[in-house]
């Protein structure tokens, strides 16, 4: 029964939420509301947002220390694939603030007591599988072009990538593959996590609703993906420090985007 609850939710005949059509104005309004949430509870979101720069520093050290330099960029870029799961606490804070409830930082961990926590974990596991698959594909692309031996130094790696035909192919093929994984991740998760915090509908309904929302709004959701990618790229400089602001803003904005996409 527990497994059934995770997949199908609390009811035997789960209701499928109604998906709305949105426009570009809705995206800008969601971002504006996300910034407003960030400004209203800055101590909370900065506390949570510092997790991401720390992860970035850790990944950088790990990659350099174990001669896995070719995976440094795919690992850093791939954080966006699991970012929606990591932002659960931010969705919860926005949900509570919207409802007029206490939104102190400790309430970010209320998701651990959500009736949908099993379904949330299941969707999170799916994103983690997607993340690991992306790393495997990125490594395969690199090794198919440069072989299995790691570069001798950072300078050598940069020269190989930026000044050789194999390096240009790596950039082209790697970004094309990354785009496909990013599309899959945003289609699966843009609505599913906020929906599961809001309603105990089960992982299957949450994922299907997210896919329907993207299918009903292809251009706005494509633009949203570009906005997310651009802000994450800006936030990664220098040394991922900007993610302490970018990630909370995007997390809060995603909650408000969900409210626009799904009828109450």
CA distance 103 to 41: 8
Give 42-83 pLDDT, tens digit per residue: 755 555 566 666 666 666 666 566 567 788 788 878 878 888
Report pLDDT for 97: 92
Per the CB < 8 A criterion, the answer to whether 51 and 215 are in contact is no
Residues of the chain with pLDDT under 50: 1
Decide if 5 is inside a domain.
no
Helix (H, G, I), strand (E, B) or coil at 164: coil
Decide if 207 is inside a domain.
yes
Decide if 199 is inside a domain.
yes
Decide if 175 is inside a domain.
yes
Beta bridge partner(s), residue 141: none
Decide if 245 is inside a domain.
yes
Q: How many domains does the chain have?
A: 1
How many Å from the N-terminal Cα to the C-terminal Cα in the chain? 28
Tokens of 123: 């969707």
Cβ burial 49-76 (10 Å sphere, 16+ → b, else e):
beebbebbeebbeebeeeebbbbbbbbb
Domain with 50, as residue range(s), is: 24-261
Decide if 18 is inside a domain.
no
Place of tokens 């974990």: 121
Q: Which residues contact 61 (CB under 8 A, 6 or more apart)?
A: none
Comparing CA positions, the residue from 169, 163, 209, 160 lying closest to residue 187 is: 209
Question: What does the longest C-alpha to C-alpha distance in the chain come to?
Answer: 59
- Number of C-beta neighbours around residue 36 at 10 A: 16
């Amino acid at each position: 029964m527990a497994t059934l609850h995770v997949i199908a939710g609390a009811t035997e005949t789960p209701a499928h939420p109604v998906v709305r059509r949105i426009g570009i104005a809705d995206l800008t309004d969601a971002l504006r509301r996300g910034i407003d949430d960030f400004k209203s509870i800055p101590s909370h979101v900065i506390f949570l947002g510092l997790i991401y720069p720390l992860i970035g520093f850790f990944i950088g050290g790990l990659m350099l220390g174990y001669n896995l330099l070719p995976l440094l960029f795919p690992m850093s870029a791939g954080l966006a694939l699991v970012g929606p799961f990591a932002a659960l606490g931010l969705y919860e804070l926005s949900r509570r603030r919207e409802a007029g409830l206490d939104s102190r930082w400790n309430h970010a961990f209320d998701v651990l007591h959500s009736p949908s926590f099993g379904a949330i974990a299941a969707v999170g596991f799916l994103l983690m599988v997607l993340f690991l698959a992306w790393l495997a594909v990125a490594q395969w692309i690199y090794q198919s072009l440069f072989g299995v031996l790691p570069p001798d130094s950072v300078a050598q790696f940069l020269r190989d990538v930026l000044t050789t035909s194999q390096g240009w192919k790596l950039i082209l093929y790697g970004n094309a593959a990354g785009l496909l994984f990013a599309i899959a991740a945003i289609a699966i998760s843009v609505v599913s996590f906020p929906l599961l915090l809001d309603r105990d509908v089960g992982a299957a309904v949450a994922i299907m609703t997210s896919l329907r929302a993207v299918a009903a709004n292809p251009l706005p959701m494509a633009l949203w993906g570009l906005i997310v990618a651009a802000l994450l790229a800006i936030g990664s400089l220098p040394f991922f420090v900007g993610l302490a602001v970018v990630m909370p803003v995007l997390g809060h904005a995603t909650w408000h985007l969900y409210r626009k996409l799904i009828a109450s």
